[in-house]
């Protein structure tokens, strides 16, 4: 089984995780299941979720209300949920695993690891770790994994997660990195010109 993450869903998941860093985010995944593929078309974060630095929770009544209303707003079904772990190990906690077990067979849990980064890194799929990973804006390292619950082995297992948006994201990184370098060079040249102007004014005053 694998997860195919659509562009709108990937953007929503990443933005919601970074927005509340260093707290956790939480939301639902909308899409469809086809054979061994879970397609995630949209991701919606719960604005009323109770967030802290080590957990996130959602009032059951509110969650049920949202799931009910979705029937009238979208043709997609809830195929799972997502949440973030800021600066924490890239694995589901015991509580996360238990919630995934209760969700039923075929439900996917997407985990987003967020932590500070000091250097850029291209977005790519790591086959060994079964994750999507990269650095956002040269500031945040993002790792995205997907898990389902194996009822026979009684444990959560990672499954491959694919996003065709990675190539476009890398192109944007290269573009903006180049623009930022040009801007920095222009700022240095402007500062140098201002210093030269001050030196010339001071020299004229001495004369």
Q: Give tens-digit pLDDT for 45-85.
A: 876 555 444 555 555 666 667 667 776 677 788 899 999 99
Q: Check: CB of residue 25 under 8 Å from CB of residue 16.
A: yes
CB under 8 Å to 36, separation ≥6 — which residues? 1, 2
Q: What are phi and psi of 131, to 5 degrees?
A: -150, 160
pLDDT of residue 11: 92
- The verdict on 155 and 171 lying in the same domain is no
Location of structure tokens 């994201």 = 169
What is the span of the domain harbouring residue 189? 165-207
How far is residue 130's CA from residue 144's CA, in Å, rounded to a whole number? Answer: 9
Q: Say yes or no: 149 and 174 in one domain.
A: no
- Min mean pLDDT across 2-11, 34-43, 151-160, 174-183 is at 174-183
Per-residue model confidence (pLDDT) at position 66: 66
d(CA 23, CA 136): 18
* Shared domain check, 100 and 38: yes
Residues of the chain above pLDDT 90, percent: 44
CATH number, residue 91? 3.40.140.10
Task: Please tell me the pTM assigned to this model.
Answer: 0.77
Number of domains in the chain: 2
Same domain? 29 vs 43: yes
Does 152 lie in the same domain as 176?
A: no
52, 124: one domain: yes
Regarding whether 106 and 86 lie in a shared domain, the answer is yes
**pLDDT over 70 (residue 92):** yes
Q: Are residues 138 and 198 in the same domain?
A: no
Integer Rg of the chain from CA = 23
Bond from prior residue into 22 cis (ω within 30 degrees of 0) = yes
Q: Are residues 192 and 149 in the same domain?
A: no
Are residues 149 and 180 part of one domain? no
pLDDT at 8: 92
- Residues 159 and 185 reside in one and the same domain: no
Whether residues 73 and 136 share a domain: the answer is yes
Listed in sequence order, the residues at least 6 apart from 29 whose beta carbon sits closer than 8 Å to its beta carbon are 9, 40, 42, 43, 78, 79, 80, 81, 82, 108, 110
What is the residue whose two structure tokens read 């990269």? 134
């Amino acid at each position: 089984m694998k997860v195919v993450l659509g562009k709108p869903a990937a953007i929503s998941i990443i933005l919601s995780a970074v927005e509340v860093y260093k707290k956790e985010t939480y939301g639902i995944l909308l899409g469809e299941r086809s054979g061994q593929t879970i397609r995630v078309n949209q991701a919606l974060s719960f604005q009323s979720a109770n967030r802290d630095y080590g957990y996130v929770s959602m009032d059951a009544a509110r969650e049920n209300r949202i799931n009910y209303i979705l029937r009238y707003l979208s043709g997609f079904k809830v195929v799972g949920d997502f949440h973030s772990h800021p600066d924490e190990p890239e694995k589901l906690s015991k509580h996360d695993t238990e919630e995934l077990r209760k969700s039923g067979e075929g439900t996917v849990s997407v985990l987003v690891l967020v932590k500070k980064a000091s250097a850029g890194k291209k977005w790519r799929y790591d086959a060994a770790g079964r994750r999507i990973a990269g650095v956002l804006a040269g500031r945040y390292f993002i790792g995205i994994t997907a898990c389902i619950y194996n009822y026979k082995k009684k444990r959560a297992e990672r499954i491959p997660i694919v996003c065709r948006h990675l190539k476009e994201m890398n192109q944007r990184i290269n573009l903006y990195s180049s623009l930022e370098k040009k801007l920095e060079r222009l700022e240095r040249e402007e500062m140098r010109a201002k210093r030269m102007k001050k030196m010339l004014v001071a020299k004229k005053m001495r004369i």
